[in-house]
Structure 1
């Protein structure tokens, strides 16, 4: 495995429940940095 420009960034996949407009709940996978709090909808400032 070769090093890329991602310096010491470790990601992990987490499954979050997302409620669809029709009221059904589905699971959505998101990638988060290890050590960061999980945010379902994170927007860069």
Structure 2
């Protein structure tokens, strides 16, 4: 069982990582984040 302080530090760390990823990948738009389909054919 982790202490409350450890839990709070873990949550803050997770939030910081999420914020960094959000800034890096297109400011919260999911289409910019998920750019795995590079060549799609619209039929």
TM-score by length of 2: 0.20
More helix by share: 2
TM-score by length of 1: 0.20
Question: Greater relative contact order (Cα 8 A, min sep 6): structure 1 or 2?
Answer: 1
Task: Compare CA radii of gyration and give the structure with the larger one.
Answer: 2
